[in-house]
Every structure is written in structure tokens, then in C-alpha cells.
């Protein structure tokens, strides 16, 4: 299955929970000729799980809010190597 949200193309495998979201990396965040990925997102089960992650991260000294995202809510994290990671809960059904 594939569908589009503006510049994003979302590809979903019909027999699994795997989704691949493709979106352009904007020039303001990418170096010239940078072929790296935009970010990696992990879907968590529900809002309670996302809030549990907020608590875990807070305990580790990392204070990050839950913020709105296209189709859901998210926690955005930068790992020690500078990669953007996302924990995501879908709140909107796409077809």
C-alpha cells in the first residue's frame, strides 16, 4: 500500500507493521551532496506507551515533550551521533 501526504510518500507492507516514509531532506538541514536519511521512526503501541517513554527518558536526564506530528503524536530524539529518531503514535487512520 502507498499513499501521499504532501511531500511524504508512505509505503506500508500489507502483512506487517512495517512502514517506510520517504520525504525530501530540506536544504537547511542537509550538507551539499548529503545522502543520509532524514530520520528513523519507531511506532509505539499507544499514548500510554509514549508517556512511559517520556518517563524513562526523564529518569535518564533527557527531558523531551510529546508533540503533534502528521497523523499522530511523537517524541523526537537526537542520538549521540546526531541522528534524528522518533517515537510515534498514530492518532489518524490513513487509507
pLDDT tens digits along 68-80? 988 899 999 988 8
- As to burial, measured by CB atoms within 10 angstroms (0-12 exposed, 13-18 middle, 19+ buried), residue 32 is exposed
Q: What are phi and psi of 84, to 5 degrees?
A: -85, 125
pLDDT of residue 21: 77
Q: What is the DSSP letter of 82?
A: S
50-78 mean pLDDT: 94
- Residue 81 has what pLDDT? 81
pLDDT at 1 over 70: yes
Q: Please indicate whether residue 46 or residue 41 has the higher confidence score (pLDDT).
A: 46
- Per residue in 79-88, pLDDT tens? 888 888 899 9
The pTM of the whole model exceeds 0.85: no
Amino acid at each position: 500500500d502507498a499513499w501521499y501526504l504532501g511531500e511524504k510518500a508512505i509505503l506500508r507492507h500489507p502483512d506487517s507493521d512495517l512502514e517506510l516514509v520517504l520525504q525530501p531532506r530540506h536544504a537547511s538541514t542537509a550538507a551539499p551532496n548529503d545522502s543520509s536519511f532524514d530520520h528513523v521512526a519507531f511506532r509505539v503501541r499507544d499514548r500510554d506507551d509514549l508517556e512511559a517513554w517520556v518517563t524513562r527518558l526523564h529518569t535518564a536526564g533527557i527531558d523531551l515533550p510529546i508533540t503533534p506530528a502528521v497523523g499522530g503524536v511523537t517524541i523526537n530524539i537526537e542520538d549521540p551521533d546526531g541522528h534524528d529518531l522518533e517515537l510515534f503514535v498514530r492518532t489518524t487512520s490513513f487509507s
